[in-house]
Structure 1
Amino acid sequence: MNAADNDVVANTAAVGKFSKFYNAMRAAGLVATYKGPGPFTIFAPTDEAFDKLFPDGALHALLKDRPRLTSIINNHVVNGTLLAKDIQTSDATSVQGDTLALAANDDGFTVNGAKASFQEIESTNGVVHAIDTIMMPKA
């Protein structure tokens, strides 16, 4: 695997539990953006998180709503690299412009209440954290 194949997008695509998030990034036209130099921290909802919020028909409709999809994806990305071991209770600002509340705990951390573990995927242009909930943008 060369360095270009180890960016946050490639790692999101390669790990089987993020297929719906990766497909949403593609549908929103954000793949090239997040293959860029970054660094980016992506709080990637798992496929199960998508299933909780969007039944199959609703997800299909969302994938056709590019502006809404773009705002949802961008709400899961922070500029810079936030490793799990460095996350403390604080706030971060998503690329979408919303405030994300980070809270560290013994099992990992939460971001806007979505649970993440200490397991992360370090990439050439940032890091990917799996979360169990989709964080909808405020507006």
Structure 2
Amino acid sequence: MKRGFKAIATALVLLASGVVSAGADLVDAAAANGGAKTFAAAAKESGFSEWLKRDGPYTVFAPDDAAFDKLAPATRDALMKDKAKLAQVLAYHVIPGKIMVTDIKPGQVQTIQGGTVKISSDNGKVTVNEANVTQSDVVADNGVIHVIDTVVLPKD
């Protein structure tokens, strides 16, 4: 009986911490995650949220709120004004398939935007181009989110 209670308690802690998002799509999971609210808001603002609500599965490398603040003000302002460009930048953070952090294979991976990102994994440290994964395996109904510390911009 104690073992069953412990499993339920662990599941509740995971749900409360945002590591598991029961009944949530990728947009809802990002919005519920303490550090990815700007990503979720940008997805809704640009119309990209409709893509992230599809069946998937997808793996999203969602920049945390501070990552958006690190962008040069002119770049950030231009992105927020150009919804199509913002959607393209957000799509550059998404790859097909549900890949948990322990299953990441280093190498070039094509994003749904069409460009490629370089994923590295070294002794538990995962990077996407130059961005560090700071929180991993935020599960949604249609994929998984890994929070990163930098907005990764596609090369034009």
Query: For residues 34 and 43 of structure 1, what CA distance do their matches in structure 2 show?
Result: 12
Contact 2:23 2:140 in 1 (8 A): no
In structure 2, the residue matched to 1:108 is 125
Unaligned runs of 5+ in 1: none
In structure 2, the residue matched to 1:15 is 33
Q: CA RMSD in A?
A: 2.0
Q: Does 1:29 align with 2:47?
A: yes
1:61-116 CA-partner distances (Å, limit 9, x unpaired): 42221121011001000111111001121221011111111111123311112111
Query: For residues 80 and 89 of structure 2, what CA distance do their matches in structure 1 show?
Result: 11
In structure 1, the residue matched to 2:84 is 67
In structure 1, the residue matched to 2:108 is 91
Contact 1:36 1:125 in 2 (8 A): yes
In structure 2, the residue matched to 1:49 is 67
Aligned-residue offset at 1:58:
5.5
In structure 2, the residue matched to 1:126 is 143
Q: How many residues align?
A: 137
Amino acid at match of 2:46: A
Contact 2:136 2:146 in 1 (8 A): yes
Amino acid at match of 1:52: K
Aligned-residue offset at 1:132:
0.7
Question: Structure 1 stretches (4+) deviating beyond 4 angstroms?
Answer: none
Query: For residues 119 and 73 of structure 1, what CA distance do their matches in structure 2 show?
Result: 18
Query: For residues 135 and 82 of structure 2, what CA distance do their matches in structure 1 show?
Result: 33
Amino acid at match of 1:132: D
C-alpha distance 59-84 of structure 1, shift in aligned 2 (>3 A)? same
Query: For residues 4 and 120 of structure 1, what CA distance do their matches in structure 2 show?
Result: 13
Query: For residues 32 and 89 of structure 1, what CA distance do their matches in structure 2 show?
Result: 29
Unaligned runs of 5+ in 2: 1-14, 16-20
What percentage of aligned pairs have identical amino acids?
36
